């Protein structure tokens, strides 16, 4: 593996003004048009040097739609065409297609003037979730942060240490990669049209937020730009890996000159899966990242998708503090499925919820 030269330590802080936020980790679809827009025309919000340490501030994933109050109406009525706001895209100097962008997460913290976050159960008619057939109504819990701990007035008696991490980080795709996304996701949407689920989001111009882009360019991004659902193997994106906290490293494929890196959707904590759609503790915050470029890294690593190395930081609980529920491929109606991990995970979730409902207080 190629060793990177020592770089003089340098730190920059970037705040997410309306000019810095971008709703897309990615740029444009191109197969609807005979002459795709030049991917380099999509405006960057800043340039980062190879080896530089940068502090990047991020708004919460809804862009501030959820308030610190005791009503779940804002969760019930959240505008899902205005979500997954990201800070970026950043141009990383020396990064070229075929390279790997090494993202070292040095720290993640809530904003000092916003030491709180929220968890939401989304209404079935607006977003829904993994168990929305059983829990169709919107609900919300506000969490107050105190150092590494959090507690909620809506869930009395609960206090635990968080594991702060970004839910989304990734580089932009090339027009060729976007074409692949468009084809396979269109096929998925068509094949799953009978399901009462949003399995993927096609380009959606409504309420597009494209950073500094305006006029025809903004309109084109809205008509062709891919959203953050579903997650995609080629570039990182919407990964929601709870252990990508301090000390973690992420190796991201580079598909375009400058990489065009974006980050956002910060979580104070998250379980193994977001079963309520908004199942993490969502927050606004600041992430400190060191960026390095591994030349020709995709070929050297045989990379087909990002590589994640979690850091050594994690809340520790003794073995006697855990309780396990086994999941099987038998659903709640008694129907047997064949090696169905989704059914098994659902059954395990339901058993955990029932246990907490009875004995959690």
The pLDDT assigned to 3 comes to 37
172 and 122, same structural domain? yes
Q: Are residues 18 and 123 in the same domain?
A: yes
Listed residue (68, 21, 29, 23) closest to 45, CA to CA? 21
Residue 5: inside a domain: no
Q: Give phi and psi for 133, each to the nearest 5.
A: -70, -25
Residue 15 has a pLDDT of 66
> Last residue of a domain, which of 297, 316, 335?
316
pLDDT score at 214:
85
Kindly state the percentage of the chain with pLDDT values over 70: 88
Task: List the single range of 34-38, 121-125, 233-237, 287-291 with lowest mean pLDDT.
Answer: 34-38
Residues 333-356 have a mean pLDDT of 96
Q: What CATH number is associated with residue 65? A: 2.60.120.580
d(CA 204, CA 246): 34
DSSP single-letter state for residue 321: G
- Per-residue pLDDT, 23: 37
Q: What is the mean pLDDT of the chain?
A: 88
The mean per-residue pLDDT over the stretch 328-332 comes to 97
- Decide if 1 is inside a domain: no
Question: Does any domain span residue 291?
Answer: yes
The arithmetic mean of pLDDT across residues 260-269, rounded, is 96
pLDDT, residue 248, reads 99
Percent over 90 (pLDDT), the chain? 69
Let me know whether 242 and 338 are in one domain: no
Residue 47 in any domain: the answer is yes
My answer on whether 340 and 191 are in the same domain is no
DSSP structure class, residue 341: H
pTM here? 0.89
The confidence score (pLDDT) of residue 272 equals: 84
Q: Which domain holds residue 323?
A: 319-361
Do 97 and 174 lie in a common domain? Answer: yes
| Together in a domain, 273 and 355 | no
Report whether 272 contacts 242 (CB < 8 A): yes
Task: Say whether both 360 and 306 belong to one domain.
Answer: no
Number of domains in the chain: 2
Contact present, 275 and 349 (Cβ < 8 Å): yes
Could you tell me which of 162, 107, 169 has the C-alpha nearest to residue 308? 169
Residue 6, in any domain of the structure? no
309 plus 332 within the same structural domain = no
Would the pLDDT of 205 be above 70?
Answer: yes
C-alpha radius of gyration, the chain, whole number: 21
pLDDT at 4: 35
In-domain check, residue 3: no
Res. 329: pLDDT tops 60: yes
Q: Is the peptide bond before 179 cis (omega within 30 degrees of 0)?
A: no
Q: Based on the domain organization, do 285 and 191 belong to the same domain?
A: yes
349 and 243 assigned to the same domain: no
- pLDDT per position as a tens digit, 150-184: 999 999 999 999 999 999 999 999 989 988 998 99
Residue 5 φ/ψ, nearest 5 degrees: -70, 155
pLDDT tens digit string along 291-317? 999 999 999 999 999 999 999 999 988
- Residue 229 resides in a domain: yes
Q: Is 86 part of a structural domain of the chain?
A: yes
Dmax over CA atoms of the chain, in Å, equals: 62
Answer with the one of 301, 316, 331 that is the final residue of a domain: 316
Torsion angle of C-alpha atoms 184, 100, 259, 53, degrees rounded to 10: 140
pLDDT digits (tens, 9 = 90+) for 24-57: 333 332 222 223 344 455 678 899 999 999 999 9
- On the question of pLDDT at 6 being above 90, the answer is no
Confidence of residue 11 (pLDDT cuts 50, 70, 90): low
Residues 358 and 242 in one domain: no
User: Do 175 and 139 belong together in one domain?
Assistant: yes
Q: Looking at residue 99, what is its pLDDT?
A: 99
Residue 22: pLDDT above 70? no
């Amino acid at each position: 593996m190629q060793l990177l030269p020592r770089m003089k330590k340098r730190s920059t802080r970037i705040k997410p003004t309306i000019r810095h936020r971008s709703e897309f980790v990615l740029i444009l679809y191109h197969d609807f048009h005979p002459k795709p827009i030049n991917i380099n025309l999509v405006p960057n919000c800043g340039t980062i040097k190879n080896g530089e340490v940068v502090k990047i501030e991020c708004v919460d994933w809804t862009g501030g739609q959820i308030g610190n109050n005791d009503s779940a109406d804002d969760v019930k009525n959240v505008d899902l065409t205005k979500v997954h706001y990201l800070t970026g895209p950043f141009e990383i100097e020396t990064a070229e297609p075929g390279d790997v962008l090494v993202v070292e997460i040095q720290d993640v913290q809530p904003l000092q003037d916003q030491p709180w976050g929220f968890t939401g159960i989304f209404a079935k008619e607006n977003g829904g979730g993994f168990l929305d057939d059983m829990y169709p109504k919107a609900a919300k819990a506000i969490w107050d942060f105190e150092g590494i701990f959090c507690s909620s007035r809506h869930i009395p008696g609960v206090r635990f240490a968080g594991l702060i991490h970004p839910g989304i980080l990734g580089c932009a795709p090339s027009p060729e990669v976007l074409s692949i996304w468009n084809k396979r996701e269109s096929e998925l949407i068509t094949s799953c049209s009978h399901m009462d689920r949003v399995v993927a989001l096609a380009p959606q111009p409504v309420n597009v937020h494209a950073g500094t882009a305006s006029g025809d360019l903004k309109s084109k991004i809205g008509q062709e730009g891919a959203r953050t659902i579903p997650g995609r193997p080629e570039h990182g994106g919407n990964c929601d890996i709870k252990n990508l906290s301090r000390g973690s490293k992420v190796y991201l494929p580079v598909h375009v000159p400058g990489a065009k890196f974006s980050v956002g959707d910060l979580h104070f904590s998250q379980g193994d899966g977001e079963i309520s759609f908004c199942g993490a503790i969502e927050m606004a915050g600041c992430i400190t990242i060191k960026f390095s470029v591994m030349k020709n890294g995709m070929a050297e690593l045989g990379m087909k998708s990002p590589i994640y190395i979690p850091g050594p930081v994690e809340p520790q609980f003794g073995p006697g503090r855990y309780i396990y529920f086994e999941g099987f491929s038998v659903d709640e109606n008694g129907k047997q499925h064949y090696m169905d991990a989704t059914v098994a995970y659902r059954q395990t979730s339901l058993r955990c919820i029932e246990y907490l409902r009875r004995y959690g207080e």
